[in-house]
Chain A
């Protein structure tokens, strides 16, 4: 799948490090995501996967190193800034409000209202008093529902009976699909999925993996964190292995084996091996 690697990376970290007090969670990690590819991020517990993702998502800053987005150096200080660039994270707990319906969840925090032109971006142009008044303007439910349905349709999420059902009534796979659809609703360019298939049944896992593949087909850069190598080999184009805060290597999925990746995860092979990209 090296074809997808032509062109420039969408997202790139160069030598990023992060420590929490005495604990060095991440040490000089280079990581890149190309458009139209699924890259898996694997490693044992404490390898630094979450730290890397949270840094990219703006939950906290890196201590050193640079982040480039679309070739430009950026500094991301909050999830909002990450979203404004087009980076969306789907966390393992999905962050859905069970009591709200599918549409309300997909638009949560960015609802369209009357009197203000609908924007697709995460950032809002309105400022000052109007920004506050907007919270009391009528929501444009019909526009939001149309958009939500269209997005679900583009992703071929077919199992929802209605987008007006509360999320509490959905299955695990449907919830994951809604969370992913929510992430791509905003013309995002990079979608990061944290353990998207954990706690899903066989059929639902398949559903979600197909969805992940479709994101890449739409030319998004997709990062998947997972412990399940079986799933990863089904969807990933490249596999980056982290161990104890260091990047071990990046494999091309087609040119490596599960054994090799397991070995890298547990033994941390830091020398050059066949299949390495750098």
Chain B
């Protein structure tokens, strides 16, 4: 039996042929442009935003774009970015974790207290940086599990449960630290985590490795696709991207390696901060998990269409609990970084605008609040924006009132762009 109804268009090529058709660089760029126009703007606004920020603050204060200040910004953004990694996963589900700020403080204060007690209590002498960090992370991951467990078993909105968490974990931090107190960190490794730099040669090695591995993976994928008869990224495009990345990477390494010491008499300060390496490694691992594994695929699927995921046999509730555990884990890591930056944990740890900065970072970076759309890298880009604004306004000595207003406006702009691009995608159908 053949088609009982006449096929509308005989000339259409088959899906197989269409997917095999080689793409010229021009066609590739054309398709990219079409994606951008249909609302899939990716990281475009943020690059423009960073340029604007750099111009504004540099004109206002000549110190903004100095190597010393740029490294400061990197150190300032690290804690935010790492917590925001977890937040991206939560947002991908279409949920939110309002407790991330204070959970990070729980992580920081747990590590600080254990390290302090290990100095005074001989039975705790076994505690050192290499085991206290996993312990603190275990605690915050367990907190994430608790949130996820409550949310899924009682079918509550994550907004409410983590709001309760926000209050409760703030209380826990206060109870541990004690009123008005501060827990200092003596342990040299934890203390220097946020400020240690690597010898200058490592800036080139690490950034070089990062870009080289990206390039090799890209080429290998394209090769394998071509071999399989599938459409692959055109080679000139890959080379172009690699050249741009290498140029940016070389510039960053160069900046890291300029002597940042304020006077020529002082010992030289140069090299890549360890914290930047940690940030980069976590970015790679979490991006791999999000985009190249089943778990990551399921996170996107649940955020995109929960019912579809459920019918596909995905254990939706388990994915949700796991994502809140990821959020807890990343919050703990960020908390340790923040504690290391201050070399102490005080009663106000995890408070102030930390949580809003974290959510703002993820959203500004391009992760949708409505679930299903976003990338782990948006946490880094958004944190860079947030830290730059905060840092620039610090240089200008504006009041914290102005700081809040400006950060609020940046966040608002990001959300508006998100909403507009969503609308663009829907009408693009």
Which residues of A line the B interface, CB within 8 A?
79-80, 83, 91, 93-100, 104-105, 108-111, 113, 134-139, 142-143, 145-146, 149-150, 152-153, 156-163, 168-171, 203, 206-207, 209-210, 213-214, 216-217, 234-235
Contacts and interface: CB of A to CB of B under 8 A. Distances in A.
B354 interface: no
Interface in B299-314: 300-301, 303-305, 307-309, 311-314
**Interchain residue pairs A-B with the least CB separation, the first 5:** A109-B312, A97-B304, A99-B304, A99-B372, A95-B308
B179 interface: no
Nearest to B372: A99
Contact of B308 (A96, A110, A209, A214): A96
Given A149-B16, A158-B13, A96 B305 contact: yes
B429 to A, nearest CB: 6
B5 interface: yes
Given A145-B19, A213-B4, A93 B372 contact: no
A79 B313 CA distance: 8
Given A98-B372, A111-B294, A234-B4, A142 B429 contact: no
Nearest to B8: A203
B293 A139 contact: yes
B154 to A, nearest CB: 24
13 contacts: A95-B307, A109-B298, A113-B293, A135-B295, A139-B292, A139-B293, A149-B230, A156-B14, A158-B14, A159-B12, A206-B5, A210-B7, A213-B4
A138 B3 CA distance: 40
Contact of A158 (B15, B230, B307): B15
Interface in B254-295: 288-289, 292-295
Interface string B1-24: 101111111001111101100000
Given A95-B312, A138-B292, A170-B429, A145 B230 contact: yes
Contacts of A169: 38, 425, 428-429
Contacts of B309: 97, 108-109
Contacts of A157: 15
B294 A217 contact: no
Interface of B: 1, 3-9, 12-16, 18-19, 38, 224-225, 228-231, 288-289, 292-295, 297-298, 300-301, 303-305, 307-309, 311-314, 372-373, 425-426, 428-429
Contact of B228 (A110, A146, A171, A234): A146
A53 B349 CA distance: 56
Contact of B300 (A99, A137, A209): A99
Contact of A213 (B3, B312, B426): B3
B294 A97 contact: no
B16 A150 contact: yes
Given A136-B289, A149-B19, A168 B426 contact: yes
A171 B429 contact: yes
Nearest to A109: B312
B301 A210 contact: no
B293 A137 contact: yes
A162 B23 CA distance: 12
B294 to A, nearest CB: 4
A210 B305 CA distance: 28
B12 A97 contact: no
A83 B372 CA distance: 26
A209 B5 contact: yes
Contact of B312 (A108, A158, A206, A209): A108
A153 B15 contact: yes
Nearest to B310: A95
B38 A135 contact: no
Given A110-B313, A158-B15, A168-B425, 15 more contacts: A79-B311, A79-B313, A94-B308, A95-B311, A97-B304, A98-B304, A108-B309, A135-B294, A156-B14, A160-B18, A168-B426, A206-B5, A209-B5, A210-B7, A217-B1
